[in-house]
Structure 1
Amino acid sequence: MIVFLAVLVMTACAGSPADDRVCFDGTCFQVEVATTEAQRTQGLMHRAALPADTGMLFIFGAERPYSFWMKNCLISLDIIWMDYSRRIVHIEQDVPPCQEEPCPSYRPAGSALYVLEVNAGTTAQLGIAVGDLAEFRLKSLSTP
Protein backbone atom coordinates (compact mmCIF):
# COMPACT_ATOMS: atom_id res chain seq x y z
CA MET A 1 0.00 0.00 0.00
CA ILE A 2 2.81 2.43 0.86
CA VAL A 3 4.58 1.65 -2.42
CA PHE A 4 1.35 2.32 -4.33
CA LEU A 5 0.92 5.70 -2.60
CA ALA A 6 4.53 6.64 -3.30
CA VAL A 7 4.13 5.82 -7.00
CA LEU A 8 0.87 7.79 -7.10
CA VAL A 9 2.50 10.85 -5.53
CA MET A 10 5.50 10.71 -7.90
CA THR A 11 3.21 10.37 -10.91
CA ALA A 12 1.10 13.31 -9.79
CA CYS A 13 4.20 15.50 -9.52
CA ALA A 14 5.36 14.79 -13.05
CA GLY A 15 4.09 17.16 -15.69
CA SER A 16 1.76 15.93 -18.37
CA PRO A 17 1.69 17.00 -22.01
CA ALA A 18 -1.46 19.01 -21.25
CA ASP A 19 0.71 21.20 -19.00
CA ASP A 20 3.11 22.16 -21.80
CA ARG A 21 2.71 25.71 -23.05
CA VAL A 22 4.48 28.25 -25.24
CA CYS A 23 3.52 31.85 -24.54
CA PHE A 24 4.04 35.14 -26.37
CA ASP A 25 3.28 38.26 -24.33
CA GLY A 26 0.66 36.45 -22.22
CA THR A 27 -1.00 34.55 -25.08
CA CYS A 28 -0.33 30.84 -24.57
CA PHE A 29 -0.57 27.76 -26.76
CA GLN A 30 -0.97 24.29 -25.32
CA VAL A 31 1.67 22.29 -27.18
CA GLU A 32 2.69 18.77 -27.96
CA VAL A 33 6.46 18.53 -27.65
CA ALA A 34 8.53 16.71 -30.28
CA THR A 35 12.02 15.95 -28.98
CA THR A 36 12.88 12.69 -30.75
CA GLU A 37 13.62 12.18 -34.42
CA ALA A 38 10.51 9.98 -34.75
CA GLN A 39 8.28 12.62 -33.13
CA ARG A 40 9.75 15.41 -35.27
CA THR A 41 9.33 13.32 -38.44
CA GLN A 42 5.67 12.57 -37.66
CA GLY A 43 4.89 16.16 -36.65
CA LEU A 44 1.31 17.14 -37.41
CA MET A 45 0.91 14.76 -40.37
CA HIS A 46 -2.54 13.28 -41.03
CA ARG A 47 -4.35 15.66 -38.65
CA ALA A 48 -7.70 16.83 -39.98
CA ALA A 49 -7.78 19.75 -37.54
CA LEU A 50 -5.75 21.50 -34.87
CA PRO A 51 -7.75 22.97 -31.98
CA ALA A 52 -7.43 26.73 -31.48
CA ASP A 53 -4.67 27.80 -29.09
CA THR A 54 -2.72 24.57 -29.61
CA GLY A 55 0.36 23.60 -31.58
CA MET A 56 3.46 21.46 -31.76
CA LEU A 57 6.86 22.51 -30.45
CA PHE A 58 9.88 20.88 -32.10
CA ILE A 59 13.01 20.91 -29.94
CA PHE A 60 16.34 20.17 -31.62
CA GLY A 61 19.74 19.37 -30.13
CA ALA A 62 21.64 22.18 -31.86
CA GLU A 63 20.90 25.43 -33.65
CA ARG A 64 20.62 25.04 -37.42
CA PRO A 65 18.45 26.39 -40.23
CA TYR A 66 15.96 23.49 -40.02
CA SER A 67 13.68 23.18 -43.02
CA PHE A 68 10.09 21.97 -42.84
CA TRP A 69 7.70 20.65 -45.45
CA MET A 70 3.99 19.89 -45.43
CA LYS A 71 4.01 16.32 -46.77
CA ASN A 72 0.91 14.45 -45.55
CA CYS A 73 -0.31 17.54 -43.71
CA LEU A 74 -4.01 18.16 -44.13
CA ILE A 75 -4.19 21.67 -42.67
CA SER A 76 -2.42 24.97 -43.32
CA LEU A 77 -0.02 26.15 -40.63
CA ASP A 78 2.05 29.08 -39.44
CA ILE A 79 5.63 27.96 -38.73
CA ILE A 80 7.66 29.92 -36.16
CA TRP A 81 11.44 29.43 -35.81
CA MET A 82 13.14 30.51 -32.55
CA ASP A 83 16.79 30.68 -31.53
CA TYR A 84 18.44 29.42 -28.32
CA SER A 85 17.11 32.45 -26.40
CA ARG A 86 13.57 31.65 -27.63
CA ARG A 87 13.46 34.78 -29.76
CA ILE A 88 11.59 34.47 -33.06
CA VAL A 89 14.02 34.55 -35.98
CA HIS A 90 11.63 33.66 -38.81
CA ILE A 91 7.93 33.07 -39.50
CA GLU A 92 6.26 31.42 -42.48
CA GLN A 93 2.57 32.28 -42.52
CA ASP A 94 -0.32 30.34 -44.04
CA VAL A 95 1.81 27.45 -45.26
CA PRO A 96 -0.52 25.19 -47.28
CA PRO A 97 -0.56 21.39 -47.31
CA CYS A 98 1.60 19.81 -50.00
CA GLN A 99 -0.54 19.18 -53.08
CA GLU A 100 2.01 17.48 -55.33
CA GLU A 101 5.53 16.07 -55.31
CA PRO A 102 8.07 17.40 -54.79
CA CYS A 103 6.76 19.23 -51.73
CA PRO A 104 8.26 22.69 -51.20
CA SER A 105 10.50 23.21 -48.17
CA TYR A 106 10.30 26.19 -45.83
CA ARG A 107 13.52 27.31 -44.19
CA PRO A 108 14.63 30.28 -42.10
CA ALA A 109 17.46 32.56 -43.20
CA GLY A 110 19.26 31.90 -39.89
CA SER A 111 19.58 29.15 -37.34
CA ALA A 112 16.94 27.98 -34.87
CA LEU A 113 16.78 25.60 -31.93
CA TYR A 114 12.98 25.54 -31.59
CA VAL A 115 10.16 25.49 -34.13
CA LEU A 116 6.49 26.00 -33.28
CA GLU A 117 3.65 25.05 -35.62
CA VAL A 118 0.23 26.63 -35.03
CA ASN A 119 -2.93 27.09 -37.07
CA ALA A 120 -2.57 29.25 -40.18
CA GLY A 121 -3.43 32.88 -39.58
CA THR A 122 -2.60 32.76 -35.88
CA THR A 123 0.57 34.86 -36.01
CA ALA A 124 -1.11 37.60 -38.04
CA GLN A 125 -4.22 37.58 -35.86
CA LEU A 126 -2.22 37.84 -32.62
CA GLY A 127 0.51 40.13 -33.95
CA ILE A 128 3.27 37.60 -33.27
CA ALA A 129 6.36 38.82 -35.11
CA VAL A 130 10.06 38.26 -35.70
CA GLY A 131 11.94 39.51 -32.65
CA ASP A 132 9.25 38.50 -30.16
CA LEU A 133 10.38 36.41 -27.20
CA ALA A 134 8.63 33.17 -26.22
CA GLU A 135 8.22 31.80 -22.73
CA PHE A 136 8.23 28.01 -22.42
CA ARG A 137 6.31 26.22 -19.65
CA LEU A 138 7.22 22.62 -20.37
CA LYS A 139 6.26 20.54 -17.36
CA SER A 140 6.48 17.22 -19.22
CA LEU A 141 10.22 17.78 -19.66
CA SER A 142 10.79 18.68 -15.99
CA THR A 143 12.31 16.19 -13.64
CA PRO A 144 10.83 15.82 -10.14
Structure 2
Amino acid sequence: MNARLLIPMFALLLSGCPASGQSTWVEVGGQRYQVELADTDPERARGLMFRDAMDSGAGMLFIHEREEPQAYWMKNTKIPLDILYFDDARKLVAQRRNTPPCSAGDACPSYPSNAPARYVLELNAGEADRLKLQDGAELKLSESIPPAK
Protein backbone atom coordinates (compact mmCIF):
# COMPACT_ATOMS: atom_id res chain seq x y z
CA MET A 1 0.00 0.00 0.00
CA ASN A 2 1.17 3.51 -0.77
CA ALA A 3 2.85 5.29 2.18
CA ARG A 4 0.84 8.45 1.43
CA LEU A 5 -2.31 6.48 2.26
CA LEU A 6 -0.92 4.70 5.30
CA ILE A 7 0.00 7.86 7.23
CA PRO A 8 -3.52 9.39 7.22
CA MET A 9 -5.06 5.99 8.07
CA PHE A 10 -2.63 5.55 10.97
CA ALA A 11 -3.42 9.09 12.22
CA LEU A 12 -7.14 8.30 12.10
CA LEU A 13 -6.64 5.16 14.17
CA LEU A 14 -4.61 7.04 16.78
CA SER A 15 -7.18 9.83 17.00
CA GLY A 16 -9.84 7.52 18.38
CA CYS A 17 -12.25 8.46 15.61
CA PRO A 18 -14.59 5.65 14.62
CA ALA A 19 -13.15 3.97 11.53
CA SER A 20 -16.56 3.48 9.98
CA GLY A 21 -17.14 7.23 9.81
CA GLN A 22 -19.81 7.07 12.51
CA SER A 23 -20.27 10.25 14.45
CA THR A 24 -20.59 10.34 18.19
CA TRP A 25 -23.96 11.82 19.07
CA VAL A 26 -26.73 11.73 21.62
CA GLU A 27 -30.35 12.65 21.20
CA VAL A 28 -32.63 14.11 23.85
CA GLY A 29 -35.90 15.97 23.49
CA GLY A 30 -35.91 15.26 19.76
CA GLN A 31 -32.61 17.14 19.28
CA ARG A 32 -29.34 15.52 18.24
CA TYR A 33 -26.04 16.77 19.66
CA GLN A 34 -22.51 15.90 18.58
CA VAL A 35 -20.68 14.99 21.77
CA GLU A 36 -17.24 14.43 23.14
CA LEU A 37 -17.00 11.49 25.51
CA ALA A 38 -15.56 11.65 29.00
CA ASP A 39 -15.49 8.06 30.21
CA THR A 40 -12.23 7.91 32.15
CA ASP A 41 -11.39 9.58 35.47
CA PRO A 42 -8.97 12.14 33.94
CA GLU A 43 -11.45 13.03 31.16
CA ARG A 44 -14.31 13.39 33.66
CA ALA A 45 -12.14 15.54 35.95
CA ARG A 46 -11.19 17.93 33.14
CA GLY A 47 -14.59 18.06 31.44
CA LEU A 48 -15.13 21.39 29.74
CA MET A 49 -12.65 23.35 31.86
CA PHE A 50 -10.76 26.23 30.26
CA ARG A 51 -12.89 26.36 27.10
CA ASP A 52 -14.04 29.75 25.87
CA ALA A 53 -17.05 28.40 23.97
CA MET A 54 -18.85 25.28 22.81
CA ASP A 55 -20.40 25.04 19.36
CA SER A 56 -24.16 25.10 19.01
CA GLY A 57 -25.42 21.53 18.70
CA ALA A 58 -22.47 20.18 20.68
CA GLY A 59 -22.02 18.77 24.17
CA MET A 60 -20.01 16.50 26.40
CA LEU A 61 -21.26 13.13 27.64
CA PHE A 62 -19.79 11.80 30.87
CA ILE A 63 -20.16 8.05 31.41
CA HIS A 64 -19.65 6.82 34.96
CA GLU A 65 -18.71 3.29 35.94
CA ARG A 66 -21.86 2.81 38.01
CA GLU A 67 -25.16 4.46 38.71
CA GLU A 68 -24.95 6.55 41.89
CA PRO A 69 -25.64 10.12 42.99
CA GLN A 70 -23.33 12.45 41.07
CA ALA A 71 -22.21 16.01 41.75
CA TYR A 72 -20.62 18.33 39.21
CA TRP A 73 -19.06 21.72 39.60
CA MET A 74 -18.03 24.51 37.30
CA LYS A 75 -14.43 24.92 38.50
CA ASN A 76 -12.39 26.64 35.77
CA THR A 77 -15.36 26.46 33.42
CA LYS A 78 -15.79 29.63 31.39
CA ILE A 79 -19.16 28.95 29.77
CA PRO A 80 -22.61 28.52 31.38
CA LEU A 81 -23.98 25.00 31.01
CA ASP A 82 -27.04 22.83 31.48
CA ILE A 83 -26.07 19.70 33.42
CA LEU A 84 -28.43 16.78 32.76
CA TYR A 85 -28.27 13.57 34.80
CA PHE A 86 -29.52 10.23 33.40
CA ASP A 87 -29.86 6.83 35.10
CA ASP A 88 -28.86 3.35 33.85
CA ALA A 89 -32.04 3.24 31.74
CA ARG A 90 -30.97 6.60 30.21
CA LYS A 91 -33.95 8.42 31.71
CA LEU A 92 -33.48 12.02 32.85
CA VAL A 93 -33.49 12.02 36.67
CA ALA A 94 -32.15 15.52 37.48
CA GLN A 95 -31.37 18.81 35.79
CA ARG A 96 -29.19 21.74 36.74
CA ARG A 97 -30.03 24.44 34.24
CA ASN A 98 -28.03 27.56 33.48
CA THR A 99 -25.16 26.78 35.83
CA PRO A 100 -22.85 29.80 35.81
CA PRO A 101 -19.12 29.74 35.10
CA CYS A 102 -16.88 29.71 38.15
CA SER A 103 -13.33 30.98 38.58
CA ALA A 104 -13.26 30.61 42.39
CA GLY A 105 -11.25 27.37 42.28
CA ASP A 106 -12.14 24.98 45.08
CA ALA A 107 -14.74 27.45 46.38
CA CYS A 108 -17.00 26.79 43.37
CA PRO A 109 -20.36 25.27 44.39
CA SER A 110 -21.32 21.74 43.37
CA TYR A 111 -24.51 20.79 41.59
CA PRO A 112 -25.66 17.38 42.87
CA SER A 113 -28.02 15.06 41.02
CA ASN A 114 -29.96 14.12 44.18
CA ALA A 115 -30.73 10.85 42.37
CA PRO A 116 -28.58 7.98 41.12
CA ALA A 117 -27.17 8.73 37.66
CA ARG A 118 -24.83 6.95 35.23
CA TYR A 119 -24.70 9.42 32.35
CA VAL A 120 -24.26 13.18 32.59
CA LEU A 121 -24.77 15.39 29.56
CA GLU A 122 -23.45 18.95 29.52
CA LEU A 123 -24.94 21.29 26.95
CA ASN A 124 -24.79 25.03 26.41
CA ALA A 125 -26.98 26.83 28.95
CA GLY A 126 -30.54 27.31 27.75
CA GLU A 127 -30.82 24.07 25.76
CA ALA A 128 -32.92 22.29 28.43
CA ASP A 129 -35.31 25.27 28.53
CA ARG A 130 -35.47 25.42 24.73
CA LEU A 131 -36.31 21.71 24.54
CA LYS A 132 -38.69 21.94 27.51
CA LEU A 133 -37.00 18.88 29.00
CA GLN A 134 -38.85 17.08 31.75
CA ASP A 135 -37.57 14.41 34.10
CA GLY A 136 -38.08 11.03 32.45
CA ALA A 137 -36.91 12.22 29.01
CA GLU A 138 -34.91 9.51 27.24
CA LEU A 139 -31.28 9.84 26.20
CA LYS A 140 -30.52 8.03 22.95
CA LEU A 141 -26.92 7.12 22.17
CA SER A 142 -25.23 6.63 18.81
CA GLU A 143 -23.82 3.20 18.08
CA SER A 144 -20.31 4.65 18.32
CA ILE A 145 -20.76 5.19 22.09
CA PRO A 146 -19.65 2.10 23.97
CA PRO A 147 -22.22 0.56 26.30
CA ALA A 148 -21.73 1.25 30.00
CA LYS A 149 -19.71 -1.48 31.68
TM-score (norm 1): 0.85
Residue 26 of structure 1 and its aligned partner are, at CA, apart by 3.0
Number of residue pairs the alignment of both structures matches: 139
1:24 and 1:13, CA in 2 relative to 1: closer, same or farther beyond 3 A?
closer
Provide the secondary structure at the position in 1 that maps to 2:108. Answer: coil
Residue 129 of structure 1 pairs with residue 134 of structure 2:
yes
Q: Deviations over 1:29-52 (max 9, x none)?
A: 000000110100110000100111
Q: Deviations over 1:6-55 (max 9, x none)?
A: xx5xx696356x71111024310000000110100110000100111100
Higher relative contact order (CA 8 A, sep 6+): 1
Residue 98 of structure 1 and its aligned partner are, at CA, apart by 1.4
1:131 and 1:140, CA in 2 relative to 1: closer, same or farther beyond 3 A?
closer
Residue 57 of structure 1 pairs with residue 61 of structure 2:
yes
Q: Is the Cα–Cα contact under 8 Å of residues 83 and 96 in structure 2 kept in the other structure?
A: yes
TM-score (norm 2): 0.82
Give the equivalent residue in structure 1 for 2:75.
71
Residue 41 of structure 1 pairs with residue 45 of structure 2:
yes
Deviant stretches of 4+, over 2 Å: 11-16
Match for 1:119: what amino acid?
N
Q: Is the Cα–Cα contact under 8 Å of residues 19 and 140 in structure 1 kept in the other structure?
A: no
Match for 1:35: what amino acid?
D
Q: Is the Cα–Cα contact under 8 Å of residues 86 and 114 in structure 1 kept in the other structure?
A: yes
Q: Deviations over 1:85-136 (max 9, x none)?
A: 1000000000001143511000011100000000000000111221101110
Q: What is the distance in 1 between the residues matched to 2:135 and 2:18?
A: 35
Residue 106 of structure 1 pairs with residue 92 of structure 2:
no
Q: What is the distance in 2 between the residues matched to 1:13 and 1:33?
A: 13
Unaligned runs of at least 5 residues, structure 2 = none
1:106 and 1:25, CA in 2 relative to 1: closer, same or farther beyond 3 A?
closer
Q: Is the Cα–Cα contact under 8 Å of residues 76 and 103 in structure 2 kept in the other structure?
A: no
Q: Is the Cα–Cα contact under 8 Å of residues 77 and 103 in structure 2 kept in the other structure?
A: no
Provide the secondary structure at the position in 2 that maps to 1:52. Answer: coil
Match for 1:14: what amino acid?
A
Unaligned runs of at least 5 residues, structure 1 = none
Overall identity of the aligned pairs, in %: 38
Stretch of structure 1 that moved more, 67-76 or 129-138: 129-138
